[in-house]
Amino acid sequence: MSNPTFEFSHAITRRPTASIIDGLRAEDIGSPDLEQMLKDHAHYVATLKATGAKVIELDGVDAFPDAVFVEDTALCLTKGAVLMRPGAATRLGEVAQMEATIRANFEDVRQITKGHIEGGDILVTEREILVGRSDRTDAEGVEELRSLVSDWGHTVREVFTPPGVLHFKTDCSLLDGETILSTKRLDASGCFEGYRVLHVAEGEEVAANTIRFNDTVLCPAGFPRTAETLRAHGYKVVEINNSECAKLDGGMSCLSLRFNIR
């Protein structure tokens, strides 16, 4: 495999802690169960490792209930990394918790200092970086990201996360250099023109937040028609229970930062 958009040597994850019950959520559908979440998290980490990647497993930070959702704190690219500035006030401090690990792995580290942007709103494809404006990501944050990554050769395109959807990637994932898995509602916005788009099955919108990690697509369990679509298109799928993270609007992408420094 030589395609940098889905070839990863490393991932960073962080264990959930007891404070997970205080994690942010749009709607209260019950408190996450830490024991179950730890089991699911271990399955997730083992699946990443099984692809041959090194997983940097960070200890939980009890002071930050949402810290398990590491994706929102940084954007890892080939030439460097950018520390984010989360739009959720309770999550701002998570960036400082991640900074040392990012600096240990990247020589060139830049930082968003204006506005807000969360990693969950960023989809990196082979040709561009799509950033969805959302309740967590604003125009100022998008503009600063654009200026920070332009000399690394990246083009940033501002798009829009559908109303009521937490992050852009809540509704889509990159499956390979040209293929995106998306909900119909997000694809209908026209943001994926020029890409091949597979739709998640009707009623399985939650399954849009998957990750392609080396030869494997990690998919939340319980969405059999979408898993079948992926398998029918030749992807190797591993289904991971996501019942507890889902109570906090989290999914497969949120649980790791992924990069390639092989």
What CA–CA distances, in Å, run from 80 to 44, 179, 240? Answer: 25, 25, 30
Point out which residues pair with 237 in neighbouring strands. Answer: 217
257 counts as binding ligand CIR under rule CB under 6 A: no
Give the DSSP per-residue string, 52-111: T-EEEEEPP-TT-TTTT-GGGGEEE-SS-EEE-B-SSGGGTTHHHHHHHHHHHH-S-EEE
Query: Considering the complex, what minimum distance in angstroms separates the CB of residue 151 from ligand CIR?
Result: 26
* Separation CA 175–CA 48 (nearest Å): 15
Among 116, 253, 258, 259, binds ligand CIR (CB under 6 A): 253
Span from 63-71, 93-101, 153-161, 216-224 in contact with ligand CIR (CB under 6 A): 63-71
Give the interface size with ligand CIR as a residue count (CB under 6 A): 19
In the residue annotation, 191 being an active-site residue is answered as no
- Whether the CB-CB separation of 241 and 261 falls below 8 Å is answered with no
170 counts as binding ligand CIR under rule CB under 6 A: yes
88 counts as binding ligand CIR under rule CB under 6 A: yes
Among 8, 44, 64, 69, binds ligand CIR (CB under 6 A): 69
- The separation between CA 255 and the C-alpha centre of its own chain, rounded to angstroms, equals 7
72 counts as binding ligand CIR under rule CB under 6 A: yes
- How much is the CA Rg of the chain, to the nearest whole Å? 17
- The separation between CA 139 and the C-alpha centre of its own chain, rounded to angstroms, equals 20
116 counts as binding ligand CIR under rule CB under 6 A: no
Catalytic residue among 76, 172, 219, 254: 254
Point out which residues pair with 238 in neighbouring strands. Answer: 218
In the residue annotation, 167 being an active-site residue is answered as yes
Closer to ligand CIR by CB, 135 or 143: give it: 135
129 residue type, one letter: I
Among 7, 40, 71, 176, binds ligand CIR (CB under 6 A): 71
Catalytic residue among 167, 199, 219, 245: 167
Q: List residues near ligand CIR by CB under 6 A.
A: 23-25, 66, 69, 71-72, 88, 91, 119-120, 166-167, 170, 248-250, 253-254
Catalytic residues, by residue number, are: 167, 254
